[in-house]
Structure 1
Amino acid sequence: MLQVKLIVTGDDFGYCPRRNQGIVDCFLAGAVSNVSLLVNGSAAADAAKLARRHNIPIGLHANLSEGSPVCQVLKTNSSLLNERGFFHGKMGFRTALSKGLLIMSEVKQELKAQVELFRELTGHLPPHMDGHQHVHVLPEVRHVFAEVLEEYGIKYTRVPIEPGLHNCDWIPPSLMDFYLGVEDDSFNTVDVFTRHGIRFLAGKSRGSPARSRATGGRGWLRPSPGRPLLRDPPPQEHREEAVGPSRDLLIYPPRHRPPARARTHLVSGGGRGDKLTKETRTTGKPRKEKSTVSSSHKLTTSSGFSICAKRYHTEPPRWPDIYIGLSTMGKNMSVSSIWSAIDTALVGFTTKAPSPAPPSRTVTIELMVHPGYPSVPPVGGCGEGPDDFSQSWERLHELQTLIKPELQSHYKTRNIQLCSFKDL
């Protein structure tokens, strides 16, 4: 029997009082089971109080694209800001990133500041963390995002790869282009997250739609317990794996190595107890320091490329087995579209599962939603006032759809249990 745990996450909590109230109404009606907080939202403090009052499970909706940063030192003279002193915007952020204009140390600085502000507002670290407008799966950003998850021990995240998205012909071409870009970024993020120890909740890689595309058909490259874990992998086409027992180590061609200050080189011939040397470059000759990291297995490569490794000592972060929410957003949301998205995802999951299937299995699904009462200018936003998305009638449409009794009835009939990340 297949048990389905459905996390219905209300994004953009904290954006404005009307969005807050709409999300709370959905939660009280049993239509939303989890929320994601914009800590730079104009009503973030109010949202945190509402979550406390109603015992709403709450995580962090990391924002690098809309409004103002929360890190004080980045509010002026930062690569993350446009000429008006705000984040670059959904598409502007992507353009700046593609041109190499964003400094990743500043991205990490802002992400950590948002985690700290979340803790200040709620009294605890976020149990889950995702990205506003999917910025967390973008190239370069995904590496930094994974590092922040590791450093704070944040257990859960989101990888927006929706099964059946390509067949959704009701989505306008321009919007579909954006969604497919998010999907491509997410496929590449799977490999990065996996190498940071982040994995599917069930720990099952077989049959995953991301498996073959993200790993070249070789399956997951997940480290075994106690084995070194990798940071900042290069693009798939520039990767070479070690052979033998150390296949879970990533090999860097010279031009795709990480920054020299974070680079680790293998300096001995291989074998148990080999020492790794960490090389730090500033100016002049390189300075070599002995590292406490040891290799437990012999490494063999055809071209002597470098490795960058670390050991992972805590429980790795995870993401749900299935994500949906792109095909059901806004005006495209209906009871039938949600049913269809869930059914399509489950069919794909069950048909690709290992055989023979166990008598009882649990699959986790996250449904991303954006309900609320539409924002009314000038109240709301993240520093620039509310955007068109938040002012749209589609926010109310999502709210009204999610609270329909027939949707709740469908969940019960199909043995779908609504829950939050902290319940997993």
Structure 2
Amino acid sequence: MSTVDELFAIDTLLQPEEQQVRDAVRGFATRRLRPHLAEWFESGTFPARELAPEMAALGLFGMHLDGYGCAGLSATAYGLACQELEAADSGARSMVSVQGSLAMTAIHRYGTDEQKREWLPRMAAGDVLGCFALTEPDYGSNPAGMRTRAVRDGNDWVLSGSKMWITNGTVADIAVVWARTEEGIAGFLLPTDTPGFAAREMRHKLSLRASLTAELDLDEVRLPGDARLPDARGLAGPLGCLSEARFGIVFGALGAARDCIACAIDYTCSREVFDKPLAGYQLTQAKLADMAVALGTGQLLALHLARLKERGELRPEQVSAGKLNNTRAALAIARECRTLLGANGITLDYPVLRHANNLESVLTYEGTAEVHQLVIGQALTGSSAFR
């Protein structure tokens, strides 16, 4: 039997180093994540602190960044790492994505040399965890409307407001907080032990349960003047970081889809219905074939976008096209695989509904499907339809 990677000869498109990264992360996920995922999902927990040193040893934190202890690997290698993490669970990929593509990228891209030296080596080593505080209770798709404010008081800044749906928020040592100032939106580095900062775990989730999600409160949090990220000017600052994270999702969502297909193939080959394996029926094979083609097409798109990124040619609307296509395809695959497992598909004995539930979040965070449709529409027509 062929895997989808073999069907599309994916390995022929990868460099040896990229395959080594993929295999190393796959081994870590098999050894350290998969045996516990059902328990973590059911209990709504994730041992971020415990896993951080091992993830760091693999170079997963800020792996696409250069210097300051970061691995400096290719966009393709980073994408493949995201795919292997999300093949285990979207929560694991989210943790790495927030640490590296959001928090560390913000510091690496917009920070001073002193800020980079202070935070990035420790974050790359997993000694310091970060979060990225942009979304607010009333402002998700429209971050320009944020109410969190930073006001000058002498040489200091005083921040007040609230943030919501913040991954890693309850375990972060440093928060990259975006706030409105008199000059426009700005980014700040906020150590989470600063007086006035509070993080509350958000519970009762039906998706991304093996992930730590927080609501943040900022009650007149006082920061020194040098806490500001000087090169982050306006909304382009956080949006630039989000584009990095979305790129990881283009690959990551396919990992969840691939895991669902592998589970469905294994299940249907061993499950007997009317005295022969379920995999031996035409309807089953038609479903598997269609899903394999959708997954393979998404993988080819992801690899193409990665090569564009490595040449410095990747545009935001292309990232939007990748996220829109691949998250839609992954969610459809997860749902279809659930049908092949019948009633067994709704249990945590199998990963498919866990993946499907997670992908409901992946479809909408870091830009909903509708937002990405409008980004693509604007690129095609030259006319903005956001307002």
Q: Same fold (TM over 0.5)?
A: no
Bigger Rg, structure 1 or 2: 1
**Greater relative contact order (CA < 8 Å, ≥ 6 in sequence):** 1
Bigger proportion of residues as helix: 2
* TM-score computed with the length of structure 1 as normaliser: 0.32
Tell me the TM-score normalized by structure 2: 0.35
